[in-house]
Structure 1
Amino acid sequence: MSTLRILHFNDVYHVAASSQEPVGGAARFARLLKTVQERDGGGAQVTLFSGDAYFPSLESSVSHGRHMVPVLNRLGIDASTLGNHEFDQGLDQLERLIRDNNFPWVITNLVDRGTGAPAAAGCVPHLVKDVGGVRIGIIGIIEREWLDTLPCLPPTFEYRDFVESARAAARMLKDPGGHACDLVVCLSHMRLHNDLALADACGDAVDLVLGGHDHFYYVGSGIDAYEDPAAAQLPADYSGAQDDREMAAAWAAERRSLAGGRAGRRVVKSGTDFRDLSEIEVRLGADGAVARVSVTRHRATSSVPEDAEVKGMVDRIQAHLSKALDKVVGFAACDLDARSTACRTRESNLGSLSGDLMRLCYAESAGAQIGFLCGGTIRSDRILPAGQVTMRDITEVFPFESPVVVIRLTGDQIRRALENGVSKWPANEGRFPQVSGIRFAFDPFRPPGSRVTSIVLTAEARALARRSHSMAATGDSEAEEEEEDGDDDGADEPLVMDRHYVVATREYMYQGHDGYDAMVGAEAIVDDENGITFANLYERYFRGLAVYNALRFATGGYAQDCSRARHPAGAEEPGGQAERAESAWKRLIIKHADRLLALAHEARAEQAEAGGDDHDGADTAARIQAVIERFNGTVERQARVPRRRGARIIQALLSSATRLAAEQEPLRIARSALFGHEDNSSVPLAPAAEPQASEPRNDDAGGLLPGLLVNRRDTRSYASESLLARWAVISPQTDGRIRIIGHER
């Protein structure tokens, strides 16, 4: 009989300890894990992790996940699978983080459609380890539900059914003529119901499912023994006490109900945030089958000493965070109103902008039509003056890590939610709504519950959601289907009470807090585990807006407005006219660098093939001229390419593009963010995206902001922070989306 010890944890986000027991924290968890790993001389054991580490957290919003690399590398992990939040800042960033890890990442059912290789470079489809005479096969399985909420995955990725993939991989690993594994462990990042479904369907091949994604502790009925010795050391009302008691009682009841030799479901989930560690002992019988599985739950309480090395890492992370919070991420051309007297009683420019970002962030991936937050979300109770905006400003205004969720509500549920929001007016209540995608009016002289007099869905929200994603239309009735199939007249439309709408809101409100019980129990399209935090949302927005505006800087009036925002109150602009007077030729090269450079290389190759003769080059010049005329008439008139011998044209193109390559790498990144795929050389900027002279744009950026709010391919690696921040200029305004009858100004 062989015995193997497996140590398991999942979903760790915050390296610092919390104030409530069990306090967790990376330093205590590292000491706890090391103690268990070294007990009895180590022995036959593996340490496994079920995903979600790099994001989201306040630390990750400034480190882009890099802060977690040395912490994870210190823990002696043998294998991990990918969680949904590993993709939060794009595939490129994930692959860089993976390269710096000292342990393998396993992903079995997310592959590249063309090659069949694992989705992220550096991952493996399965892993085989020999430990103390036991041959272990490890697979990594994810669910489609959270994958469908990620807008940053390349279209070449292919998801494969988790049951079929797990069964096929497990049987392959156990094949006596192949890997001949004694035990197959599935590291999963799925909701509990999917873990249980996998255990039921693949029990003959998968011996143990170690899950993540859910942030609670769980042992399934197939676990023969369960102990929680640290629970006795905790206060009776510790965080999660009731859930733990209910879980233990449910496990015991399920064990008693097993009959006829049924093994039950061997599923374990190990909590969250460096608070819990599962020690799983697996005994194999003489026939090689699993004979017994027992679980001991260890907790990182305040009584656990801190690992000195990891404590030093955490201290450095916190010090860096404090410094990084003062980083300038953008500029405001107007005051940003975060006063509670504004956000909790009327439309505020910061509330409207926040609602817009919530909606636009999920317009493409989830079909969001409406953004809905309560005024109490916006804190700091001050006006942020025009000028620099730092990460510290953002975290002070949005200190809560309650994520954005996307849910499906009927028009009547939205009406009831709005009624709740205005029910206490004019009291300075946090429930007062700030919205996007809708306009509504209310009469404060009516009784609470009947104050809202009109609600309309804006034409812009209708068009964007319909264009972006099919989830915006549910087809609940024939009338609804007819409306969706009909012509869009480009006008606002009244909310239909029995029709469903897709709403981006806060998890806090979805749980019914502040009286928002109208939202409780609604279908979740993007749940709290998959939602973005406000700090991360704003950080992405400023960065995306920067690269977008950098693409448009050829418009002089807009560039001057950006400069005025960066240097307010009459401050002298550095460089003066000379800095603003970018040559038309340089602007041309920057805007169309990829396309023109390709033509230049092609022409040079033709010239070399012709023996280096300085031939006419008329065809190349004509093609370059066509590019200019088609995509940039204004610049074309200022920098007309002469239709004459092509050698000088070709040389100038090559020289200019080479000189600007390092400086203007954000061009390629911005195109990717704008259009959602890497090869954008043939995609022009839409005429609608051109800004009006002297008019800063920050609302929907010509319908392109959804592409900026997600990281389709990494937008952080090459461009300097200062280069990007100088183009992130916002000027949010109130636009009458909330009308208080009798109090119009």
Structure 2
Amino acid sequence: MKSKKRKSGNNSCWLTLLLLCCYLPLWSVVAGHGNDTNSSEQRQARLVFTSEIPRIAETEHGDYAELATLLKQYRREPVPLFFLFGGDSLGPSTLSSFDRGAHIIDLLNLLEPDAMGVAKREFSFYEDELSQRSYEASFPLVASNLYDPITGANLDGLESGVLVQQGDIKIGVIAVLSPAAQEQYPLKRVMIFDAKTAVREQSILLRQAGAELIVLLYSANFDFIEPLLSQQLIDLALRKNELFRLTSNVKAPSSPRHINLMASSEVAVLDLSWQKSDPATLQVQPNIVLLKNFAPEPKVLSVVKNHSARLEQLLGEKIGLTRVALDTSRRTVRSEENAFGNLIADAVRLHAGADIAMLNSGNIRGEKQYKAGATLTRKDIAMELPYRNQVVLLQISGQQLLAALENSFSELELLRGRFAHVSGMQVRYDSRKPVGERVLAVTLQGKALDLNKKYTLATFDYMAGGGDGYKMLTELPQQNYPNQMNKLVAEVVVDYIKQQQQVAPVIEGRLVDVGRAMP
């Protein structure tokens, strides 16, 4: 493994300590910003946590410039302050589709996190790009349950656990991913192993290295969080879950040491107190603040503006208008037929000359409302489709298509991105039925789906590679088509709108959930 070069802030220094672990090596990183505290039995510290800030200068919730002001305000106070960033931010966004998230690392370097947890969106551009981002960061990126067969350990550049220090207080940081990330982002190399096992091992190692408290950063629905808190294997669990209010099957945290942010603008400012050498005495006083209530820090705002100006130069072109209102909010896009989803599916099907098209909703990321008569720009489409997907044409049997549709409806309750929008077919399904039995009827051009017939399917290369659980597509033969070229899906949609000049996609019964219609 190559040696790591870290950029240091004015108040930071790095000490790297290698500990042995039966699965992965643990690197301990010690950094300092604050003033030394005395060695009395009563310990105090403050911890700032947030995550999921993939966009800059295009959000009303505040971003890195406002977060910089918040941090500057609290760092003036004498209490040792730790800043932990939960990740889920290197993608997707309009700008990250160009620089693979490098601008996010650039901004975070100005904010000097003590550590950043790796979440699934850090794999938006796959393993090698994440490894490269880690070497651009002046702070450690932590993923505690990853294994890379090439290195025989963690992905190059990532840490399995870190020990961070402010004053004379040392805190251990662990971050775990869900194995489901391997389906949602078809990783080509690294493996995600059992998260609970990783937490147990890293907790022991970090305690042995001198951690007074163990903090877990996580980004999926794990059922072991509160049991591990009660067993004192971890002392604090932190997550930001903006989908919490949209899903009904996720329990709210009950432990005061289990913090779950639920809105885009939220930041947790946690005042911690405990007796030295006794983490069981930890008391947490949470203060949830909103980024949008802080003024932007001028230096960071200048960097944000410089990055966003690059976008305006690239993407300011007007491409057409919509005669109807469009809604790309997460709930509508990931749970039902959607007019914008229909537009994309039609554009892709026509581009490839396919019988049908099927596109996962997780690639639509705009979270925006467009009024009827609104002018659409190239930036709008790049924001809606930030991933660097291309169109592929597959030959698929009716039986395989049925399996793909069942996968589309398999996690409706969780609003997963595998929910697909279609073109060239109509599907009736029942969300009340068991997973794998939800599709009731499929028609193509007025004819019932023939399970033995071959059809041509236009889709994203992401889905053809097995992303979002579409493993049934991975072995299908790819077909050549007349317009085939290395063109991103966003460009295909831009060309379609420019050709039409005015678009008016509608909801027309392509996806009908009979379970929703009945009491």
Query: What TM-score results when the alignment is normalised by the length of structure 2?
Result: 0.60
Structure 2's unaligned 5+ residue stretches are 1-41, 327-337, 389-402, 411-419, 428-442, 501-507, 509-519
Asked if 1:199 is matched to 2:226, the reply is yes
Deviation by residue 1:609-633 (Cα, 9 ceiling, x = unmatched)? xxxxxxxxxxxxxxxxxxxxxxxxx
Equivalent residue letter for 1:190 = A
Note if contact 1:278-1:296 (Cα within 8 Å) is conserved in structure 2: yes
Matches within 5 A, 1:143-182: 143-151=178-186, 153-155=187-189, 157-175=190-208, 179-182=209-212
Per the alignment, residue 21 of structure 2 pairs with: none
Higher helix share: 1
Asked if 1:62 is matched to 2:98, the reply is yes
Change (3 A) 1:402 1:357: farther
Structure 1 residue 17: Cα displacement: 6.2
SS of residue matched to 1:209: strand
Per the alignment, residue 124 of structure 1 pairs with: 159
Per the alignment, residue 312 of structure 1 pairs with: 302
* Aligned match for 1:101, one of 137, 141, 156: 137
Structure 1 residue 210: Cα displacement: 1.5
- Rg bigger for which structure? 1
* C-alpha distance in 2 between matches for 1:68 and 1:468: 27
SS of residue matched to 1:98: helix
Equivalent residue letter for 1:111 = Y
Higher strand share: 2
Equivalent residue letter for 1:62 = F
* Aligned match for 1:289, one of 276, 279, 288: 279
Matches within 5 A, 1:440-519: 453-456=446-449, 459-460=454-455
Structure 1 residue 9: Cα displacement: 1.0
Per the alignment, residue 110 of structure 1 pairs with: 146
Give the share of equivalent positions with the same residue, in percent. 18
Structure 1 residue 171: Cα displacement: 1.4
* C-alpha distance in 2 between matches for 1:286 and 1:111: 35
* C-alpha distance in 1 between matches for 2:266 and 2:257: 18
* C-alpha distance in 2 between matches for 1:15 and 1:463: 32
Change (3 A) 1:216 1:297: farther
SS of residue matched to 2:214: strand
Structure 1 residue 369: Cα displacement: 8.2
* Aligned match for 2:124, one of 79, 88, 94: 88
Matches within 5 A, 1:658-737: 696-698=482-484
* Aligned match for 2:64, one of 7, 26, 45: 26
* C-alpha distance in 2 between matches for 1:84 and 1:413: 21
Asked if 1:10 is matched to 2:51, the reply is yes
* Aligned match for 2:177, one of 139, 142, 146: 142
Note if contact 1:270-1:277 (Cα within 8 Å) is conserved in structure 2: yes
SS of residue matched to 1:123: coil
Note if contact 2:117-2:218 (Cα within 8 Å) is conserved in structure 1: yes
* C-alpha distance in 2 between matches for 1:455 and 1:61: 39
Q: Which runs of 4+ in 1 moved over 4 A?
A: 336-341, 347-351, 355-358, 377-382, 396-404, 407-414, 450-453, 461-474, 728-734
Per the alignment, residue 38 of structure 1 pairs with: 76
Structure 1's unaligned 5+ residue stretches are 218-239, 255-263, 329-335, 361-367, 385-391, 415-432, 441-449, 475-501, 503-673, 676-685, 711-724, 735-739, 741-745
Change (3 A) 1:451 1:378: farther
* C-alpha distance in 1 between matches for 2:56 and 2:271: 28
Equivalent residue letter for 1:181 = A
Change (3 A) 1:109 1:38: same
* Aligned match for 2:216, one of 168, 186, 191: 186
* C-alpha distance in 2 between matches for 1:113 and 1:316: 39
Query: What TM-score results when the alignment is normalised by the length of structure 1?
Result: 0.43
Change (3 A) 1:7 1:348: closer
* C-alpha distance in 2 between matches for 1:68 and 1:463: 33
Over the aligned positions, Cα root-mean-square deviation in angstroms equals 5.4
Structure 1 residue 16: Cα displacement: 2.1
SS of residue matched to 1:15: coil
* C-alpha distance in 2 between matches for 1:409 and 1:393: 32
Equivalent residue letter for 2:105 = V
Structure 1 residue 468: Cα displacement: 6.4
Per the alignment, residue 417 of structure 1 pairs with: none
Equivalent residue letter for 2:139 = F
SS of residue matched to 2:105: helix
Change (3 A) 1:188 1:107: same
Equivalent residue letter for 1:352 = D
Matches within 5 A, 1:271-290: 271=262, 273=264, 275-290=265-280
SS of residue matched to 1:317: helix
Structure 1 residue 143: Cα displacement: 0.9
Per the alignment, residue 84 of structure 2 pairs with: 48
Note if contact 1:356-1:437 (Cα within 8 Å) is conserved in structure 2: no
Asked if 1:352 is matched to 2:358, the reply is no
The count of corresponding residues between Structure 1 and Structure 2 is 389
Asked if 1:270 is matched to 2:275, the reply is no
* Aligned match for 2:358, one of 370, 374, 398: 370
Note if contact 1:355-1:434 (Cα within 8 Å) is conserved in structure 2: no
Note if contact 1:356-1:436 (Cα within 8 Å) is conserved in structure 2: no
* C-alpha distance in 2 between matches for 1:453 and 1:696: 26
* C-alpha distance in 1 between matches for 2:129 and 2:386: 24
Note if contact 2:346-2:357 (Cα within 8 Å) is conserved in structure 1: no
Structure 1 residue 709: Cα displacement: 7.5
Change (3 A) 1:165 1:733: same
Bigger Cα displacement from structure 2, 349-358 vs 59-68: 349-358
Equivalent residue letter for 1:206 = I
* C-alpha distance in 1 between matches for 2:84 and 2:261: 11
Note if contact 1:337-1:348 (Cα within 8 Å) is conserved in structure 2: no
Structure 1 residue 78: Cα displacement: 0.6
* C-alpha distance in 1 between matches for 2:423 and 2:279: 58
Change (3 A) 1:348 1:172: closer
* C-alpha distance in 2 between matches for 1:451 and 1:696: 23
* C-alpha distance in 2 between matches for 1:130 and 1:412: 46
Change (3 A) 1:730 1:355: closer
Structure 1 residue 289: Cα displacement: 2.3
Per the alignment, residue 396 of structure 2 pairs with: none
Equivalent residue letter for 1:154 = K
Per the alignment, residue 490 of structure 1 pairs with: none
Change (3 A) 1:411 1:162: closer
Equivalent residue letter for 2:210 = A
Change (3 A) 1:372 1:33: closer
